[in-house]
Structure 1
Amino acid sequence: MRLAGKTAIVTGAASGFGAGIARRFAAEGARVLVADLDGAGAKAMAAEIGDAALPCRVDVSDGKSVAAMANAAQAALGRIDILVNNAGVTHLPAPMEEVSEADFDRVFAVNCKSVYLTARALVPAMKAQGAGAILNIASTAGVSPRPRLNWYNASKGWMMTATKAMAIELAPHGVRVNALNPVAGETPLLRSFMGEDTPEMRARFLATIPMGRFSTPGDMGAAAAFLCSDEASMITGVAMEVDGGRCI
Protein backbone atom coordinates (compact mmCIF):
# COMPACT_ATOMS: atom_id res chain seq x y z
CA MET A 1 0.00 0.00 0.00
CA ARG A 2 2.74 2.43 -0.98
CA LEU A 3 0.19 5.05 -2.10
CA ALA A 4 -2.11 4.80 0.92
CA GLY A 5 -3.82 8.12 1.59
CA LYS A 6 -2.71 9.59 -1.75
CA THR A 7 -4.94 11.01 -4.48
CA ALA A 8 -4.17 10.85 -8.19
CA ILE A 9 -5.37 11.98 -11.59
CA VAL A 10 -4.56 9.67 -14.51
CA THR A 11 -5.40 10.91 -18.01
CA GLY A 12 -6.14 8.49 -20.82
CA ALA A 13 -7.07 5.99 -18.12
CA ALA A 14 -10.03 4.26 -19.78
CA SER A 15 -7.76 1.75 -21.53
CA GLY A 16 -4.19 0.68 -22.21
CA PHE A 17 -1.31 1.93 -20.10
CA GLY A 18 -3.48 4.50 -18.33
CA ALA A 19 -5.88 1.79 -17.19
CA GLY A 20 -2.95 -0.27 -15.89
CA ILE A 21 -1.65 2.71 -13.95
CA ALA A 22 -5.06 3.58 -12.50
CA ARG A 23 -5.64 -0.05 -11.42
CA ARG A 24 -2.24 -0.28 -9.74
CA PHE A 25 -2.62 3.07 -7.98
CA ALA A 26 -5.94 1.95 -6.50
CA ALA A 27 -4.43 -1.39 -5.48
CA GLU A 28 -1.64 0.54 -3.72
CA GLY A 29 -4.18 2.54 -1.69
CA ALA A 30 -4.72 5.70 -3.75
CA ARG A 31 -8.00 7.31 -4.72
CA VAL A 32 -7.92 7.84 -8.47
CA LEU A 33 -9.68 10.13 -10.94
CA VAL A 34 -10.01 8.09 -14.15
CA ALA A 35 -9.92 10.81 -16.83
CA ASP A 36 -10.41 10.14 -20.52
CA LEU A 37 -11.89 11.64 -23.68
CA ASP A 38 -14.04 8.50 -23.78
CA GLY A 39 -16.45 9.36 -20.98
CA ALA A 40 -18.26 6.03 -21.13
CA GLY A 41 -14.95 4.20 -21.03
CA ALA A 42 -13.85 6.23 -18.01
CA LYS A 43 -17.07 5.30 -16.20
CA ALA A 44 -16.62 1.62 -17.04
CA MET A 45 -13.01 1.60 -15.84
CA ALA A 46 -13.87 3.44 -12.62
CA ALA A 47 -16.65 0.93 -12.00
CA GLU A 48 -14.22 -1.95 -12.58
CA ILE A 49 -11.70 -0.49 -10.13
CA GLY A 50 -14.35 0.15 -7.49
CA ASP A 51 -14.92 2.68 -4.74
CA ALA A 52 -11.37 4.07 -4.97
CA ALA A 53 -12.00 5.43 -8.49
CA LEU A 54 -14.05 8.26 -9.95
CA PRO A 55 -14.63 8.88 -13.68
CA CYS A 56 -14.18 12.15 -15.53
CA ARG A 57 -14.49 13.01 -19.21
CA VAL A 58 -11.74 15.37 -20.36
CA ASP A 59 -10.23 16.65 -23.59
CA VAL A 60 -6.62 17.16 -22.51
CA SER A 61 -5.93 19.41 -25.50
CA ASP A 62 -8.57 21.94 -24.39
CA GLY A 63 -7.81 24.40 -21.59
CA LYS A 64 -11.39 24.77 -20.37
CA SER A 65 -11.86 21.01 -20.25
CA VAL A 66 -8.62 20.51 -18.30
CA ALA A 67 -9.59 23.26 -15.85
CA ALA A 68 -12.97 21.59 -15.32
CA MET A 69 -11.21 18.27 -14.68
CA ALA A 70 -8.91 19.90 -12.11
CA ASN A 71 -11.87 21.52 -10.35
CA ALA A 72 -13.79 18.24 -10.31
CA ALA A 73 -10.77 16.38 -8.93
CA GLN A 74 -10.17 18.91 -6.18
CA ALA A 75 -13.86 18.92 -5.24
CA ALA A 76 -14.05 15.12 -5.08
CA LEU A 77 -10.59 14.24 -3.78
CA GLY A 78 -9.39 17.35 -1.96
CA ARG A 79 -5.66 17.85 -2.45
CA ILE A 80 -4.11 16.25 -5.52
CA ASP A 81 -0.90 14.38 -4.76
CA ILE A 82 -0.20 12.75 -8.13
CA LEU A 83 -0.78 13.70 -11.75
CA VAL A 84 -0.10 11.23 -14.56
CA ASN A 85 -0.09 12.72 -18.07
CA ASN A 86 -0.76 9.51 -19.95
CA ALA A 87 -3.21 10.53 -22.70
CA GLY A 88 -1.53 10.37 -26.09
CA VAL A 89 -2.10 9.89 -29.80
CA THR A 90 -0.01 9.17 -32.88
CA HIS A 91 -0.27 9.60 -36.61
CA LEU A 92 -0.20 6.64 -38.96
CA PRO A 93 3.24 5.63 -40.28
CA ALA A 94 4.12 7.84 -43.25
CA PRO A 95 7.01 9.82 -44.72
CA MET A 96 7.39 12.95 -42.61
CA GLU A 97 6.41 15.31 -45.42
CA GLU A 98 3.18 13.42 -46.06
CA VAL A 99 1.71 13.65 -42.56
CA SER A 100 -1.22 16.06 -42.74
CA GLU A 101 -1.16 19.35 -40.87
CA ALA A 102 -4.31 18.28 -39.01
CA ASP A 103 -2.60 15.09 -37.81
CA PHE A 104 0.52 17.03 -36.79
CA ASP A 105 -1.55 19.54 -34.82
CA ARG A 106 -3.50 16.77 -33.10
CA VAL A 107 -0.35 14.90 -32.04
CA PHE A 108 1.22 18.00 -30.52
CA ALA A 109 -2.01 19.20 -28.92
CA VAL A 110 -2.63 15.89 -27.14
CA ASN A 111 0.95 14.83 -26.43
CA CYS A 112 2.55 18.21 -25.66
CA LYS A 113 0.06 21.02 -25.08
CA SER A 114 -1.77 18.82 -22.57
CA VAL A 115 1.30 18.78 -20.30
CA TYR A 116 1.26 22.59 -20.24
CA LEU A 117 -2.50 22.69 -19.63
CA THR A 118 -2.46 20.23 -16.72
CA ALA A 119 0.53 22.03 -15.21
CA ARG A 120 -1.29 25.35 -15.48
CA ALA A 121 -4.33 23.85 -13.76
CA LEU A 122 -2.66 21.78 -11.03
CA VAL A 123 0.87 22.97 -10.30
CA PRO A 124 -0.21 26.04 -8.27
CA ALA A 125 -1.98 23.82 -5.71
CA MET A 126 0.97 21.40 -5.58
CA LYS A 127 3.35 24.30 -4.96
CA ALA A 128 1.06 25.66 -2.25
CA GLN A 129 0.97 22.31 -0.44
CA GLY A 130 4.72 21.87 -0.87
CA ALA A 131 4.47 18.39 -2.34
CA GLY A 132 3.40 16.51 -5.42
CA ALA A 133 4.46 14.01 -8.07
CA ILE A 134 3.93 14.45 -11.79
CA LEU A 135 4.57 11.58 -14.19
CA ASN A 136 4.66 12.09 -17.96
CA ILE A 137 4.23 9.03 -20.17
CA ALA A 138 6.72 9.56 -22.98
CA SER A 139 8.08 6.77 -25.20
CA THR A 140 11.16 4.97 -26.42
CA ALA A 141 10.28 6.72 -29.69
CA GLY A 142 11.71 9.90 -28.18
CA VAL A 143 15.02 8.13 -27.41
CA SER A 144 15.40 5.83 -30.43
CA PRO A 145 13.03 7.12 -33.12
CA ARG A 146 11.29 4.80 -35.55
CA PRO A 147 11.20 5.79 -39.24
CA ARG A 148 7.86 7.06 -40.56
CA LEU A 149 6.65 8.11 -37.09
CA ASN A 150 8.69 11.30 -37.18
CA TRP A 151 6.31 13.81 -35.59
CA TYR A 152 5.16 11.34 -32.93
CA ASN A 153 8.84 10.70 -32.13
CA ALA A 154 9.41 14.45 -31.85
CA SER A 155 6.42 14.94 -29.56
CA LYS A 156 7.77 12.36 -27.12
CA GLY A 157 11.24 13.90 -27.23
CA TRP A 158 9.53 17.20 -26.33
CA MET A 159 7.85 15.49 -23.40
CA MET A 160 11.17 14.26 -22.02
CA THR A 161 12.70 17.74 -22.25
CA ALA A 162 9.59 19.20 -20.61
CA THR A 163 9.95 16.65 -17.80
CA LYS A 164 13.49 17.79 -17.04
CA ALA A 165 12.58 21.47 -17.26
CA MET A 166 9.60 21.00 -14.97
CA ALA A 167 11.67 18.94 -12.52
CA ILE A 168 14.38 21.55 -12.07
CA GLU A 169 11.89 24.38 -11.66
CA LEU A 170 9.56 22.59 -9.27
CA ALA A 171 12.14 20.82 -7.09
CA PRO A 172 12.45 23.75 -4.65
CA HIS A 173 8.67 23.53 -4.13
CA GLY A 174 8.72 19.85 -3.21
CA VAL A 175 7.20 18.69 -6.49
CA ARG A 176 8.90 15.85 -8.36
CA VAL A 177 8.50 15.32 -12.13
CA ASN A 178 9.52 12.14 -13.93
CA ALA A 179 8.71 10.28 -17.14
CA LEU A 180 8.29 6.71 -18.29
CA ASN A 181 9.39 5.50 -21.73
CA PRO A 182 7.44 2.38 -22.69
CA VAL A 183 8.05 0.43 -25.83
CA ALA A 184 4.98 -0.39 -27.93
CA GLY A 185 2.38 -2.34 -25.99
CA GLU A 186 -1.01 -4.00 -26.20
CA THR A 187 -2.92 -0.72 -26.24
CA PRO A 188 -5.32 0.94 -28.68
CA LEU A 189 -2.33 2.75 -30.25
CA LEU A 190 -0.49 -0.42 -31.28
CA ARG A 191 -2.30 -0.80 -34.59
CA SER A 192 -1.61 2.87 -35.41
CA PHE A 193 2.11 2.45 -34.70
CA MET A 194 2.36 -0.58 -36.94
CA GLY A 195 0.10 0.68 -39.71
CA GLU A 196 -1.45 -2.78 -39.87
CA ASP A 197 -1.84 -5.43 -37.18
CA THR A 198 -0.55 -8.64 -38.76
CA PRO A 199 1.59 -11.47 -37.37
CA GLU A 200 4.40 -10.39 -39.68
CA MET A 201 4.31 -6.77 -38.51
CA ARG A 202 4.18 -7.83 -34.85
CA ALA A 203 7.18 -10.09 -35.42
CA ARG A 204 9.12 -7.16 -36.91
CA PHE A 205 8.33 -4.99 -33.88
CA LEU A 206 9.15 -7.74 -31.38
CA ALA A 207 12.47 -8.39 -33.10
CA THR A 208 13.64 -4.93 -31.94
CA ILE A 209 12.93 -5.73 -28.25
CA PRO A 210 15.64 -7.89 -26.62
CA MET A 211 13.24 -9.31 -24.02
CA GLY A 212 10.94 -10.37 -26.84
CA ARG A 213 7.63 -8.91 -25.70
CA PHE A 214 5.66 -5.67 -25.66
CA SER A 215 5.24 -3.42 -22.60
CA THR A 216 2.05 -4.25 -20.70
CA PRO A 217 -0.31 -2.05 -18.67
CA GLY A 218 0.88 -4.00 -15.62
CA ASP A 219 4.52 -3.12 -16.36
CA MET A 220 3.60 0.53 -16.56
CA GLY A 221 1.48 0.42 -13.42
CA ALA A 222 4.33 -1.05 -11.39
CA ALA A 223 6.88 1.50 -12.59
CA ALA A 224 4.45 4.39 -12.14
CA ALA A 225 3.53 3.34 -8.62
CA PHE A 226 7.20 3.36 -7.64
CA LEU A 227 8.06 6.72 -9.20
CA CYS A 228 4.99 8.39 -7.69
CA SER A 229 5.53 6.91 -4.22
CA ASP A 230 7.55 8.28 -1.32
CA GLU A 231 10.07 5.50 -2.00
CA ALA A 232 11.21 7.60 -4.97
CA SER A 233 11.45 10.82 -2.95
CA MET A 234 14.99 11.54 -4.21
CA ILE A 235 14.19 10.84 -7.87
CA THR A 236 13.21 13.69 -10.17
CA GLY A 237 13.87 14.57 -13.81
CA VAL A 238 14.40 10.98 -14.97
CA ALA A 239 12.91 9.25 -18.00
CA MET A 240 12.80 5.59 -17.02
CA GLU A 241 12.73 3.12 -19.89
CA VAL A 242 10.22 0.28 -19.51
CA ASP A 243 11.16 -1.25 -22.81
CA GLY A 244 12.66 -4.73 -22.43
CA GLY A 245 16.05 -3.39 -23.51
CA ARG A 246 15.01 -1.80 -26.80
CA CYS A 247 17.01 1.40 -26.22
CA ILE A 248 20.28 -0.32 -25.27
Structure 2
Amino acid sequence: MYNFNMAGLNLAGKNILVTGAGRGLGRAIAIALAEHDSKVFALSRNPSTLDSLVKEQPSIEPIVADVSDWQETRRKLEDLRTMDGLVNNAGIIDTDPATKVSKEKIYKILDTNLLGAINCTQVVANKMIQVGRPGSIVNVSSNTSLIATAIGILPYAMSKGGLDAATRQFALELGPYNIRVNSVNPALFRTTNMSAQLTEEFPELIKQMELRTPLKRLAEVNDVTGPVLYFLSDLSSMVTATCNVIDGGTLNCTVY
Protein backbone atom coordinates (compact mmCIF):
# COMPACT_ATOMS: atom_id res chain seq x y z
CA MET A 1 0.00 0.00 0.00
CA TYR A 2 2.78 2.41 0.88
CA ASN A 3 5.39 1.26 -1.65
CA PHE A 4 6.79 4.10 -3.74
CA ASN A 5 9.50 3.64 -6.37
CA MET A 6 10.09 7.25 -7.35
CA ALA A 7 13.58 7.49 -8.85
CA GLY A 8 15.80 10.33 -7.75
CA LEU A 9 14.13 11.17 -4.44
CA ASN A 10 17.38 10.60 -2.52
CA LEU A 11 15.65 10.54 0.84
CA ALA A 12 17.91 7.89 2.37
CA GLY A 13 19.56 9.02 5.59
CA LYS A 14 17.51 12.18 5.93
CA ASN A 15 16.02 13.02 9.31
CA ILE A 16 12.34 13.84 8.85
CA LEU A 17 9.70 14.68 11.45
CA VAL A 18 6.06 13.82 10.67
CA THR A 19 3.31 15.11 12.95
CA GLY A 20 -0.07 13.43 13.25
CA ALA A 21 1.73 10.24 12.25
CA GLY A 22 -0.32 7.71 14.18
CA ARG A 23 -2.95 7.11 11.53
CA GLY A 24 -4.27 8.14 8.12
CA LEU A 25 -2.13 10.28 5.86
CA GLY A 26 0.56 10.94 8.48
CA ARG A 27 1.05 7.24 9.04
CA ALA A 28 1.28 6.58 5.30
CA ILE A 29 3.88 9.35 4.90
CA ALA A 30 5.95 8.03 7.81
CA ILE A 31 5.93 4.49 6.41
CA ALA A 32 6.76 5.65 2.87
CA LEU A 33 9.70 7.68 4.17
CA ALA A 34 10.97 4.75 6.21
CA GLU A 35 10.77 2.57 3.09
CA HIS A 36 13.00 5.16 1.41
CA ASP A 37 15.48 4.73 4.28
CA SER A 38 14.82 8.09 5.89
CA LYS A 39 15.19 8.35 9.65
CA VAL A 40 11.60 9.11 10.59
CA PHE A 41 10.48 10.77 13.81
CA ALA A 42 6.75 10.17 14.16
CA LEU A 43 4.78 12.46 16.47
CA SER A 44 1.28 11.73 17.70
CA ARG A 45 -0.75 12.39 20.83
CA ASN A 46 -1.94 8.76 20.83
CA PRO A 47 0.66 6.28 22.20
CA SER A 48 -1.22 3.20 21.00
CA THR A 49 -1.20 4.26 17.33
CA LEU A 50 2.51 5.03 17.59
CA ASP A 51 3.13 1.61 19.10
CA SER A 52 1.45 -0.09 16.14
CA LEU A 53 3.38 2.13 13.72
CA VAL A 54 6.73 1.21 15.25
CA LYS A 55 5.71 -2.45 15.26
CA GLU A 56 5.15 -2.16 11.51
CA GLN A 57 8.30 -0.08 10.89
CA PRO A 58 10.79 -0.59 13.75
CA SER A 59 13.20 2.07 12.40
CA ILE A 60 10.69 4.84 13.19
CA GLU A 61 11.26 6.78 16.40
CA PRO A 62 7.99 7.67 18.19
CA ILE A 63 7.30 10.98 19.96
CA VAL A 64 4.18 11.28 22.11
CA ALA A 65 3.01 14.89 22.14
CA ASP A 66 -0.08 16.97 21.42
CA VAL A 67 0.82 19.79 19.01
CA SER A 68 -1.94 21.93 20.50
CA ASP A 69 0.22 22.12 23.65
CA TRP A 70 2.78 24.73 22.58
CA GLN A 71 5.27 24.28 25.43
CA GLU A 72 5.16 20.48 25.65
CA THR A 73 5.70 20.11 21.91
CA ARG A 74 8.48 22.67 21.93
CA ARG A 75 10.36 20.91 24.74
CA LYS A 76 10.22 17.55 22.99
CA LEU A 77 11.28 18.88 19.59
CA GLU A 78 14.17 20.90 20.97
CA ASP A 79 15.66 17.65 22.29
CA LEU A 80 15.75 16.12 18.79
CA ARG A 81 18.64 16.16 16.37
CA THR A 82 18.54 18.65 13.52
CA MET A 83 15.99 17.64 10.90
CA ASP A 84 16.31 17.67 7.11
CA GLY A 85 12.55 17.77 6.66
CA LEU A 86 9.26 18.35 8.44
CA VAL A 87 5.72 17.35 7.53
CA ASN A 88 3.10 19.33 9.46
CA ASN A 89 0.23 16.89 9.13
CA ALA A 90 -1.48 16.94 12.55
CA GLY A 91 -5.02 18.21 12.26
CA ILE A 92 -8.52 17.96 13.66
CA ILE A 93 -11.97 18.88 12.43
CA ASP A 94 -15.32 19.56 14.06
CA THR A 95 -18.59 20.74 12.59
CA ASP A 96 -20.99 23.50 13.53
CA PRO A 97 -22.86 26.08 11.46
CA ALA A 98 -20.79 29.21 10.89
CA THR A 99 -23.45 31.29 12.68
CA LYS A 100 -23.29 29.13 15.81
CA VAL A 101 -19.75 27.83 16.23
CA SER A 102 -18.25 28.82 19.57
CA LYS A 103 -15.04 30.74 20.17
CA GLU A 104 -13.73 27.78 22.18
CA LYS A 105 -14.22 25.39 19.27
CA ILE A 106 -12.52 27.81 16.87
CA TYR A 107 -9.55 28.19 19.20
CA LYS A 108 -9.28 24.42 19.69
CA ILE A 109 -8.98 23.78 15.97
CA LEU A 110 -6.63 26.71 15.35
CA ASP A 111 -4.37 25.56 18.21
CA THR A 112 -3.81 22.21 16.49
CA ASN A 113 -4.09 22.89 12.77
CA LEU A 114 -2.40 26.28 12.55
CA LEU A 115 -0.51 27.22 15.71
CA GLY A 116 0.76 23.67 16.14
CA ALA A 117 2.27 23.78 12.66
CA ILE A 118 3.81 27.20 13.26
CA ASN A 119 5.34 26.00 16.53
CA CYS A 120 6.88 22.89 14.96
CA THR A 121 8.17 24.91 12.02
CA GLN A 122 9.84 27.45 14.30
CA VAL A 123 11.70 24.82 16.31
CA VAL A 124 12.76 22.70 13.33
CA ALA A 125 13.74 25.66 11.13
CA ASN A 126 15.74 27.38 13.86
CA LYS A 127 17.78 24.22 14.41
CA MET A 128 18.41 23.99 10.65
CA ILE A 129 19.56 27.62 10.59
CA GLN A 130 21.87 27.15 13.58
CA VAL A 131 23.89 24.43 11.86
CA GLY A 132 23.53 25.77 8.32
CA ARG A 133 21.53 22.81 7.05
CA PRO A 134 19.16 23.16 4.08
CA GLY A 135 15.75 21.58 4.43
CA SER A 136 12.20 21.18 3.27
CA ILE A 137 8.96 21.73 5.16
CA VAL A 138 5.63 20.46 3.86
CA ASN A 139 2.35 21.65 5.34
CA VAL A 140 -0.69 19.46 4.85
CA SER A 141 -3.39 22.00 4.10
CA SER A 142 -6.71 21.49 2.29
CA ASN A 143 -8.70 22.72 -0.67
CA THR A 144 -11.05 24.22 1.92
CA SER A 145 -8.54 27.07 2.18
CA LEU A 146 -9.36 27.98 -1.42
CA ILE A 147 -13.04 27.14 -1.90
CA ALA A 148 -16.09 26.65 0.31
CA THR A 149 -16.70 22.91 0.14
CA ALA A 150 -19.03 21.95 2.98
CA ILE A 151 -21.35 23.41 5.58
CA GLY A 152 -20.15 23.57 9.16
CA ILE A 153 -16.37 23.65 8.78
CA LEU A 154 -15.59 27.34 9.30
CA PRO A 155 -12.83 26.82 11.92
CA TYR A 156 -11.19 24.10 9.82
CA ALA A 157 -11.27 26.23 6.67
CA MET A 158 -9.90 29.19 8.63
CA SER A 159 -7.06 27.07 9.98
CA LYS A 160 -6.10 25.86 6.51
CA GLY A 161 -6.30 29.36 5.02
CA GLY A 162 -3.98 30.51 7.77
CA LEU A 163 -1.68 27.58 7.09
CA ASP A 164 -1.39 28.56 3.42
CA ALA A 165 -0.48 32.11 4.48
CA ALA A 166 2.09 30.72 6.93
CA THR A 167 3.52 28.55 4.15
CA ARG A 168 4.21 31.59 2.00
CA GLN A 169 5.56 33.71 4.86
CA PHE A 170 7.92 31.02 6.13
CA ALA A 171 9.06 30.35 2.56
CA LEU A 172 9.95 34.03 2.17
CA GLU A 173 11.85 34.28 5.44
CA LEU A 174 13.56 30.87 5.31
CA GLY A 175 14.49 31.01 1.63
CA PRO A 176 17.87 32.72 2.26
CA TYR A 177 18.83 29.72 4.42
CA ASN A 178 17.92 27.27 1.62
CA ILE A 179 14.93 25.98 3.55
CA ARG A 180 11.91 25.45 1.33
CA VAL A 181 8.28 25.51 2.48
CA ASN A 182 5.33 24.22 0.44
CA SER A 183 1.84 22.93 1.11
CA VAL A 184 -0.31 20.20 -0.33
CA ASN A 185 -4.03 20.97 -0.46
CA PRO A 186 -6.03 17.78 -0.94
CA ALA A 187 -9.76 17.53 -1.29
CA LEU A 188 -11.78 15.13 0.83
CA PHE A 189 -10.11 11.73 1.25
CA ARG A 190 -12.07 8.53 0.92
CA THR A 191 -10.08 6.55 3.48
CA THR A 192 -9.19 8.58 6.57
CA ASN A 193 -10.71 9.00 10.00
CA MET A 194 -11.40 12.67 9.25
CA SER A 195 -13.35 11.90 6.08
CA ALA A 196 -15.31 9.21 7.91
CA GLN A 197 -16.40 11.80 10.45
CA LEU A 198 -17.72 14.07 7.69
CA THR A 199 -19.35 11.38 5.59
CA GLU A 200 -21.19 9.97 8.59
CA GLU A 201 -22.68 13.39 9.20
CA PHE A 202 -23.23 14.16 5.49
CA PRO A 203 -23.80 10.73 3.82
CA GLU A 204 -24.43 12.17 0.36
CA LEU A 205 -21.12 14.01 0.32
CA ILE A 206 -19.03 11.24 -1.25
CA LYS A 207 -21.43 10.75 -4.17
CA GLN A 208 -21.69 14.50 -4.78
CA MET A 209 -17.92 14.95 -4.71
CA GLU A 210 -17.35 12.10 -7.16
CA LEU A 211 -19.89 13.57 -9.58
CA ARG A 212 -18.19 16.99 -9.40
CA THR A 213 -14.68 15.59 -9.94
CA PRO A 214 -13.36 15.25 -13.50
CA LEU A 215 -11.40 12.13 -12.52
CA LYS A 216 -14.65 10.69 -11.04
CA ARG A 217 -13.09 9.54 -7.77
CA LEU A 218 -11.93 10.95 -4.48
CA ALA A 219 -8.31 11.10 -3.44
CA GLU A 220 -6.81 8.09 -1.72
CA VAL A 221 -4.05 8.41 0.84
CA ASN A 222 -1.33 7.43 -1.66
CA ASP A 223 -2.44 10.19 -4.04
CA VAL A 224 -1.12 12.67 -1.48
CA THR A 225 1.83 10.74 -0.07
CA GLY A 226 3.69 10.83 -3.39
CA PRO A 227 3.57 14.64 -3.76
CA VAL A 228 4.68 15.07 -0.13
CA LEU A 229 7.75 12.90 -0.77
CA TYR A 230 8.48 14.93 -3.90
CA PHE A 231 8.50 18.20 -1.95
CA LEU A 232 10.78 16.67 0.69
CA SER A 233 13.21 15.52 -1.97
CA ASP A 234 15.88 17.26 -4.02
CA LEU A 235 13.67 16.84 -7.10
CA SER A 236 11.83 19.97 -5.92
CA SER A 237 14.96 21.95 -5.03
CA MET A 238 13.71 25.12 -6.78
CA VAL A 239 10.12 24.87 -5.55
CA THR A 240 9.00 26.89 -2.56
CA ALA A 241 6.06 29.03 -1.39
CA THR A 242 3.57 26.95 -3.39
CA CYS A 243 0.14 25.57 -2.49
CA ASN A 244 -0.61 22.44 -4.48
CA VAL A 245 -4.20 21.35 -4.97
CA ILE A 246 -4.82 17.59 -5.12
CA ASP A 247 -8.50 17.26 -5.99
CA GLY A 248 -8.85 15.48 -9.33
CA GLY A 249 -9.55 18.77 -11.10
CA THR A 250 -12.56 19.90 -9.07
CA LEU A 251 -11.31 23.37 -8.21
CA ASN A 252 -10.57 24.41 -11.80
CA CYS A 253 -13.30 22.53 -13.66
CA THR A 254 -17.06 22.82 -13.62
CA VAL A 255 -18.72 19.44 -14.07
CA TYR A 256 -22.46 19.25 -14.75
Would the TM-score normalized by the shorter structure come out above 0.5? yes
Q: What is the DSSP-based 3-state SS (H/G/I as helix, E as strand, rest coil) of the residue aligned with 2:18?
A: strand
- 1:190 is aligned to 2:192: no
Counterparts of 1:197 and 1:40, CA distance in 2? 29
| Ranges in structure 2 where 5+ consecutive residues have no aligned partner | 1-8
Aligned to 1:204: 208
| Contact 2:114–2:163, Cα closer than 8 Å, also in 1 | yes
> Are the counterparts in 2 of residues 82 and 133 from structure 1 also a CA contact under 8 Å?
yes
Q: Which amino acid aligns with 1:138?
A: S
1:116 and 1:201 map into 2 onto residues whose CA distance is 31
- Listed one character per residue, the Cα deviations across residues 89-126 of structure 1 (whole Å, up to 9, x for unaligned) are 1121x320111222211111111111221123222111
Question: 1:172 Cα shift?
Answer: 0.2
**2:97 is the alignment partner of 1:89:** no
> Residue type of the partner of 2:209?
F
Kept in 2: contact 1:14–1:36 (CA 8 A): yes
1:64 alignment counterpart = 71
CA distance in 2 between counterparts of 1:47 and 1:239 reads 34
1:197–1:27 CA distance, 2 compared to 1 (3 A):
farther
Measured in 2, the distance between the counterparts of 1:197 and 1:39 equals 30
Match of 2:102 in 1: 100
Give me the TM-score of the superposition, normalised by structure 2. 0.89
User: Which residue among 10, 16, 22 is the counterpart of 1:8?
Assistant: 16
Deviation at 1:197, TM superposition (A): 6.1
Quote the RMSD (CA, aligned, Å): 1.6
Is 1:218 equivalent to 2:226 in the alignment?
Answer: no
Aligned partner of 2:147 in structure 1 is 144
> How far apart are residue 205 of structure 1 and its match?
2.7
Give the match for residue 52 of structure 2. Answer: 44
Once the two structures are superposed, residues 151-202 of structure 1 have per-residue CA deviations (whole angstroms, 9 ceiling, x without a partner) of 211211111111001001100011100000011111111133335263x332
Matches for 1:113-132 after TM superposition, within 5 Å? 113-128=115-130, 129-132=132-135
> 2:3 matched to which residue of 1?
none
Q: Provide Cα deviations, 1:202-234, integer angstroms capped at 9, x if missing partner.
A: 212322322122222212211111001011110
Q: Partners of 1:217 and 1:38 in 2: how far apart?
A: 20
* 1:59-109 superposed Cα distances (whole Å, 9 cap, x missing partner): 10112221233134x2xxx321111100011121x3201112222111111
1:163-182 equivalences under 5 Å are 163-182=167-186
1:50 CA drift (Å): 2.7
CA–CA distance in structure 2, aligned partners of residues 225 and 169 of structure 1: 23
Equivalents in 2 of 1:162, 1:182: separation in Å? Answer: 17
Q: How high is the sequence identity, in percent, across the aligned residues?
A: 27
Q: Which residues of structure 1 form unaligned runs of 5+?
A: none
Q: Does 1:247 align with 2:247?
A: no
Contact 2:86 2:121 survives alignment (8 Å): no
| AA in 2 matched with 1:66 | T
Structure 2 counterpart of 1:69, one-letter code: K
Rounded Cα–Cα distance in structure 2 between residues aligned with 1:151 and 1:118: 20
CA contact (8 A) 1:22 1:221 kept: no
Matched, 1:135 2:142: no
